[in-house]
């Protein structure tokens, strides 16, 4: 099943407004050099509902490995996890395009393996696009998918699934060779047919040059304000974690709000101040 109607009698879902037309890959492609693309990650139905009115693109990122599952990296994330969370985000949104990350090991072997995995993601979630990491080495795969009706978002620069090969998460493009590689990777996947390109963790001038060099919109994270759009991990920008990476601007303080609410609840339970008459049922 790819689409679901939220049953408000049995779930906590806020009824969605009448479904409009979702943003499509061609619509986002046409945003090159125009109004910036607003993108955030989403992993759950409720978060998707809250973010959707403000976003053009909701990315079900494999960062859910760390953010939701407490894993040490994105490497252990499975296709099953991505499909389950992808379907939840599609159920909670009606306007933004939903794209789902292809997890490590689900696409690198061959274009055929990538097609099978991406087709499964689109069938099981109802999402309209997939994102995969890698530059020139993935160009053939991007072209294979794009020619077969699967819209692809590329991802170059700091590619977290390659953390073992890169030796960490430091920003890329610091010397001429690295900068040239980022540019060549961006050109390769853009020319292969991706409709948008995430540029992560690269020096500002390299991200700006890559944005000029490709025909599709670039979406920056730790990149440049001159990218055609920006994306952040929602929980980072909402302040759910104490540690904020340098490239994140905090737009909220969820951690404090949650701690305050949990402490107030604990106090009310311990002092028997909760539940009150208002929250209990009595026979007539
Ligand atoms: O997994 C992820 O969240 C991403 C980012 C680009 C935010 O790939």
- Report the nearest-CA residue for atom 4 of ligand 1: 61
Lookup: tokens for 137: 């080495």
- Report the nearest-CA residue for atom 2 of ligand 1: 61
Average pLDDT over residues 132-144: 98
> What are 57-71's pLDDT values in tens digits?
999 999 999 999 999
User: For residue 280, what are the contacts with CB-CB under 8 A and spacing of at least 6?
Assistant: none
Specify whether 267 is catalytic. no
> What are 2-55's pLDDT values in tens digits?
344 545 455 555 555 555 689 999 999 999 999 999 999 999 999 999 999 999
Give φ, ψ of 65 to 5 degrees: -55, -50
Average pLDDT over residues 100-105: 98
> What are 269-284's pLDDT values in tens digits?
999 999 999 999 999 8
- The model's confidence at residue 228, banded by pLDDT at 50, 70 and 90, is very high
> What are 195-227's pLDDT values in tens digits?
999 999 999 999 999 999 999 999 999 999 999
Please check whether residue 94 is in contact with residue 22, taking contact to mean a CB–CB distance below 8 angstroms.
yes
Give the model's pLDDT for residue 2: 39
| pLDDT at 183 exceeding the cut of 60 | yes
Q: Which of 124, 133, 200, 235 is catalytic?
A: 200
| pLDDT at 141 exceeding the cut of 90 | yes
Topology (CATH) of 25-237:
TIM Barrel (3.20.20)
Is the CB of residue 81 below 6 angstroms from any atom belonging to ligand 1?
no
Best CA proximity match to 47, nearest among 88, 3, 4, 101: 88
Pocket test for ligand 1, best of 160, 163, 222, 223 (most atoms within 8 A of CB): 160
Is the CB of residue 101 below 6 angstroms from any atom belonging to ligand 1?
yes
Which uninterrupted H or E stretch holds 235?
helix 234-237
| pLDDT at 148 exceeding the cut of 60 | yes
Distance between CA atoms of residues 260 and 77, nearest Å:
32
Give the model's pLDDT for residue 233: 98
The fraction of the chain above a pLDDT of 70, given in percent, is 93
Best CA proximity match to 143, nearest among 180, 110, 99, 175: 110
Best CA proximity match to 91, nearest among 151, 56, 22, 45: 45
Mean pLDDT, the chain, as a whole number?
94
Give the model's pLDDT for residue 107: 98
Between the alpha carbon of residue 197 and those of residues 27, 94, 156, 166, 241, the distances in Å are: 14, 23, 7, 20, 27
In the chain, domain spans? 25-237
The pTM score is 0.94
User: For residue 23, what are the contacts with CB-CB under 8 A and spacing of at least 6?
Assistant: 56, 57, 95, 96, 97
Pocket test for ligand 1, best of 55, 63, 198 (most atoms within 8 A of CB): 63
Q: Which atom of ligand 1 is nearest to the CA of 221?
A: 6
């Amino acid at each position: 099943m790819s689409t679901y109607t939220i049953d408000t009698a049995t779930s906590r879902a806020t009824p969605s407004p009448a479904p409009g037309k979702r943003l499509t890959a061609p619509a986002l492609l046409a945003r090159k050099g125009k109004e910036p693309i607003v993108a955030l990650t989403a992993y759950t139905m409720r978060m998707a509902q809250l973010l959707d009115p403000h976003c053009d693109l909701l990315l079900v990122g494999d960062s859910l490995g760390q953010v939701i599952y407490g894993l040490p990296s994105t490497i252990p994330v499975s296709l099953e996890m991505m499909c389950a969370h992808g379907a939840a985000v599609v159920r909670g949104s009606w306007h933004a395009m939903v794209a789902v990350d292809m997890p490590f090991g689900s696409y690198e072997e061959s274009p055929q393996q990538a097609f099978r995995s991406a087709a499964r993601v689109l069938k099981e979630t109802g999402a309209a696009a997939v994102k995969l990491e890698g530059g020139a080495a993935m160009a053939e795969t991007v072209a294979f998918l794009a020619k077969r009706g699967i819209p692809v978002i590329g991802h170059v620069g700091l590619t977290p699934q390659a953390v073992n090969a890169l030796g960490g998460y430091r920003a890329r493009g610091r010397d001429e060779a690295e900068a040239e590689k980022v540019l060549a990777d961006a050109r390769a996947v853009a020319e292969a047919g991706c409709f948008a390109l995430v540029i992560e963790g690269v020096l500002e001038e390299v991200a700006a040059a890559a944005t000029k060099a490709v025909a599709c919109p670039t979406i920056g994270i730790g990149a440049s304000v001159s990218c055609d759009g920006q994306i952040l991990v929602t929980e980072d920008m909402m302040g759910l974690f104490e540690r904020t990476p340098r490239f994140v601007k905090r737009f909220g303080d969820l951690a404090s709000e949650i701690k305050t609410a949990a402490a107030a609840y604990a106090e009310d339970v311990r002092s028997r101040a909760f539940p009150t008459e208002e929250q209990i049922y009595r026979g007539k």
